[in-house]
Amino acid sequence: MNNQRVVLASRPNGSPTLENFRLETAPIRELKDGEVLVKTLYLSLDPYMRMRMSDSDSYADPVQIGEVMFGGTVGRIVESRRDGFSAGDLVTGYTGWESFSVTADETLARLPRKMAQPSLALSLLGMPGFTAHHGLLNIGKPVPGNTVVVGAATGAVGSVVGQIAKLKGCRAVGIAGGTDKCAYAVDELGFDACLDHRSPNFASELKAACPDGIDVYFENVGGEILRAVLPLLNDFARISLCGLIAWYNGDQSAKPVLAAEVLTPLLVKRVQMQGFVIIDQYPEHHASFLRDMQGWLAEGKMKVREDIVEGIDKAPEAFIGLLEGKNFGKLVVRVASDDSR
């Protein structure tokens, strides 16, 4: 068997282009003790991957030139020389943008072999769902009646944040790009309102949608959206700082102004803002997340929309589109069919 893989060909200067990626075919080496061979079924594409393409300070090491792009996956074990894992096991881990992986990845975890929708391990039951659950409940700490505003409200994380906010008795106001996404947030996900950040009147529309101010802001975006949110924050509001996708491609235009604009309301309104990376909270909070999310799914209280792309070779183009807001829902690459089901 040969392995198809997407490697980092060069570091982007601004927005990534297809030239920053290279599709390679390589033989699969023999396993060593402690390793498994995994056939990738699904690959998750997420905004944080843009930061790992740059050789700059971050919470994770950058991908090196010529290395396989980093990413979460669901796959089926083909061969195992690792205790606790057997051929045929369905697993999730961070094996990257490739069709087969020889790995000793310590994050590898078994899933139910006959899991009806394995891609859920990359959305509601995986990193995005866990990020939403922890960021809202343990950092945002909403109480019934609070107004919770969510950036990127129809994305993999934001869509879950809004639904949890409603389950906790809050008013959920989403921000998304386009009327179709906003309609989906309200009609399907149950948000009380959703504003199109592309509207020329976005700031005034957000203010009208939050007549009692904002108690919790789940930040996924930064940029002009953050600028519109700041004046509406209530005293003792909480900000869960999850992502800043507006700045991932290196746009510095708003940052100097926002430095003063952010610090002043944080001080005057005694706002609590905490940045977080979900891997830091895994051992402490993961069990409660799974209990809650699996229960909500079983009761039909949680919805997910997947944006499926076919083939590992389509991953670069799909990822570039993700950073431009072209996806609608959780972006997943279907790398291969699951012949073991």
Which DSSP helix (H) or strand (E) runs through 227? helix 223-229
- C-alpha of 205 from chain center: 26
The upper half-sphere exposure of residue 22, i.e. CA atoms within 13 Å in the direction of its Cβ, equals 13
In this structure, of 24-28, 186-190, 210-214, 243-247, the range with the lowest mean pLDDT score is 243-247
| Over residues 11-23, mean pLDDT | 94
pLDDT score for 19: 97
Is the pLDDT at 186 greater than 90? The verdict is: yes
Q: What is the DSSP string of 67-124?
A: SBPP--EEEEEEEE-STT--TT-EEEE---SBSEEEE--TT-EEE-TT-S-GGGGGTT
Quick check: 123 and 330 in contact, CB under 8 A?
yes
Q: How many residues does the chain have?
A: 341
Query: Any bridge partners for residue 102, and if so which?
Result: 37
Quick check: 320 and 50 in contact, CB under 8 A?
no
In this prediction, residue 257 has a pLDDT band, given cuts at 50, 70 and 90, of low
Tens digits of residue pLDDT in 296-314? 999 999 999 999 999 999 9
Is the pLDDT at 177 greater than 60? The verdict is: yes
- Average pLDDT for the chain: 92
pLDDT score for 336: 96
pLDDT score for 61: 84
- C-alpha of 174 from chain center: 16
| Over residues 174-203, mean pLDDT | 96
In this prediction, residue 30 has a pLDDT band, given cuts at 50, 70 and 90, of very high
Closest CA to 47 of 195, 246, 196, 182: 246
* Alpha-carbon span 337 to 118, nearest angstrom: 11
- Give the whole-number percent of the chain exceeding pLDDT 90: 76
pTM, full prediction: 0.90
pLDDT score for 339: 77
pLDDT score for 252: 57
| Over residues 134-150, mean pLDDT | 97
DSSP-derived letter for residue 69 is P
pLDDT score for 59: 73
Domains of the chain (ranges, CATH numbers): 2-122+306-334 (3.90.180.10), 127-278 (3.40.50.720)
Is the pLDDT at 256 greater than 60? The verdict is: no
pLDDT score for 266: 85
Is the pLDDT at 10 greater than 70? The verdict is: yes
pLDDT score for 135: 95
Answer with the residue of higher pLDDT: 55 or 89: 89
- Give the whole-number percent of the chain exceeding pLDDT 70: 95
